[in-house]
């Protein structure tokens, strides 16, 4: 693999061999996603695992956004 970048190699490869952050898979409003827990009942979205194609276009479901989980589904 070849990477063309102006960034120093140390910055590109930083964390490559580090321990991955803990994550868990949760259902939030009918969408199955992988999140990194940041507080009890709150997590940062890593990726969507099971959802409709339209859900990928919703900005609130983009990776890096925070969601609440472990609560009753909204009605």
**Residue 36, pLDDT above cutoff 80:** yes
This model's pTM is above 0.75: no
- Nearest residue to 37 via CA among 51, 25, 49: 25
Convert the pLDDT of each residue in 38-49 to its tens digit.
999 999 999 999
Average pLDDT over every residue of 27-44? 94
**Residue 27, pLDDT above cutoff 60:** yes
Terminal CA-to-CA distance of the chain, rounded, Å?
48
C-beta separation of 69 from 50 below 8 A? no
pLDDT at 74: 57
């Amino acid at each position: 693999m070849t990477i063309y970048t102006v960034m120093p190699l140390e910055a590109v490869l930083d964390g490559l061999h580090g321990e991955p952050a803990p994550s868990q898979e949760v259902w939030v409003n009918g969408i199955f996603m992988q999140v990194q827990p940041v507080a009890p009942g709150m997590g940062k979205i890593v990726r969507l695992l099971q959802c409709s194609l339209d859900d990928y276009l919703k900005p609130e479901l983009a990776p890096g956004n925070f969601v609440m989980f472990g609560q009753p589904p909204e009605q």
